[in-house]
Amino acid sequence: MKFIHIADIHLGAKSGRERKKAMDSYSWQAFSDVIRKAGEEQVQILLIAGDLFHRQPLVRELKEVNYQFSRIPQTQVVLMAGNRDYLAPESCYRTFPWGENVHFLKQEHMDYVELEGMDTRVYGFSYYHKEITEPLYQNIKVKKDGFCNILLAHGGDEKHVPFRSNDFVQCDFDYVALGHVHKPVEIVKNKVVMAGALQPIEFSDTGEHGCFLGEIKEHKCTVEFIPLHYCEYVPLNLKVSPEIGQSALKEFITARLRVAPEYQKFKITLSGFCDEEHPVDAEELKKMDRVVQVVDKCRADYDFEKLKLKYGQQILGRYIRTLEEMPQNEVTKKALYYGVEALMAE
Ligand SMILES: [Mn+2]
């Protein structure tokens, strides 16, 4: 039996900012791509482990999602509400008429859906609140009758159904399809898998994102991670020195971007020392195409002789002289820089 496991698609995560809007469109594209793959690979089950939406879904959005599911009538879709798209009293999830191949685990307590002709049950429940602090995934009783049993679950931190990977090592499930943490990871190889966000949602969601394609044969499961390349955030750490000017820095970044695939976007962190009079213009770097974030941790490279002449009798000049008279090591060197920086700021 073949399946695809996804989680944390976070559809509708856009805010007013252009970049967020672009991110939402990546998520819709990746979602539609998963549907296409499910059809091509003829998977029998599509597992969606919560947070399909970033917030309460609109009826219009559910219609679009349901239309996507209707493209794969041979695949049974099983989904649950996560902490983001929890079943609020006014949630459209409660009354939405899903297609025949869609099974929503709508109960607040552990339940299961039996998939016809497949000898398979998918266990799970939905969030009715933004937080669930009870460890509800512990000691789940599974019917033992030769059926294939899958758990669909969302959470893992202290406010979202806390669990430890150990809770699942001894469990009777053939596969545990997890969601909530955005980084994909096989907690127990081929058995307990955190799908990760389908595409990155925050800039901190670095690395590859995608879906897991799995197969269960005679209660033995194997999974394979399939990356989806619509967007990937890549950290880029650049060490600056006073000799490197703004244009050289920009040229370097441009060259680095040119050799990277188009879907990669960069989070730049600048460190080292920059010219005191011509510091790096981080704002300008931020405007570059495919640069999503610039964190400037550069320190100014001070000309202490010049500063002593200029601020000789003032506290700054006295501070520099005092530190220069002390035994020179890494600590005094750092103290000199940090102190001058603090005093210059005043
Ligand atoms: Mn979540």
Q: Are residues 220 and 238 in the same domain?
A: no
Q: Are residues 294 and 338 in the same domain?
A: no
Instruction: State in Å: Cα 107 to ligand 1 middle.
Output: 17
Instruction: State in Å: Cα 189 to ligand 1 middle.
Output: 22
Taking the C-alpha atoms of residue 199 and residue 214, their distance in angstroms, rounded to an integer, is 19
Neighbours of 73 (CB within 10 A): 11
Helix, strand and coil in the chain, % to nearest 5:
25, 30, 45
Say which residue the tokens 């976007």 belong to.
Answer: 265
Q: Are residues 136 and 29 in the same domain?
A: yes
The proportion of the chain whose per-residue pLDDT surpasses 70, expressed as a percent, equals: 97
Average pLDDT (257-267) is 96
Instruction: State in Å: Cα 50 to ligand 1 middle.
Output: 7
Q: Are residues 309 and 278 in the same domain?
A: no
Instruction: State in Å: Cα 63 to ligand 1 middle.
Output: 22
Instruction: State in Å: Cα 80 to ligand 1 middle.
Output: 11
Q: What's the mean pLDDT when you consider all of the chain? A: 92
Q: With 70 as the cut, is the pLDDT of residue 21 above it?
A: no
Q: Tell me: the pLDDT tens digits for 108-141?
A: 999 999 998 899 999 999 999 999 999 999 889 8
Q: Are residues 191 and 328 in the same domain?
A: no
The pLDDT score that the predictor gives to residue 14 is 72
> Which of 184, 210, 227 finishes a domain?
227
Q: Are residues 201 and 182 in the same domain?
A: yes
Q: Are residues 297 and 318 in the same domain?
A: no
> Angle at CA 170, nearest 5°, toward 183 and 151?
55
Looking at the 3D structure of the chain, how many domains does it have?
Answer: 3
The whole domain housing 269 covers: 231-301
Q: Are residues 204 and 151 in the same domain?
A: yes
Instruction: State in Å: Cα 166 to ligand 1 middle.
Output: 21
Q: Are residues 265 and 175 in the same domain?
A: no
Q: Tell me: the pLDDT tens digits for 157-214?
A: 999 999 988 888 788 899 999 999 999 999 999 999 999 999 999 999 999 999 999 9
CATH number of the domain enclosing 96: 3.60.21.10
In one-letter notation, the amino acid at residue 65 is V
Higher-pLDDT residue of 228, 331: 228
The pLDDT score that the predictor gives to residue 337 is 84
Q: Are residues 126 and 151 in the same domain?
A: yes
The pTM for the full model equals 0.86
Six-digit token string for 209: 């994102």
Q: How confident is the model at residue 16 (pLDDT cuts 50, 70, 90)?
A: very low
> Which of 211, 227, 243 finishes a domain?
227
Instruction: State in Å: Cα 181 to ligand 1 middle.
Output: 7
Instruction: State in Å: Cα 36 to ligand 1 middle.
Output: 25
Q: Are residues 297 and 331 in the same domain?
A: no
Q: Are residues 41 and 157 in the same domain?
A: yes
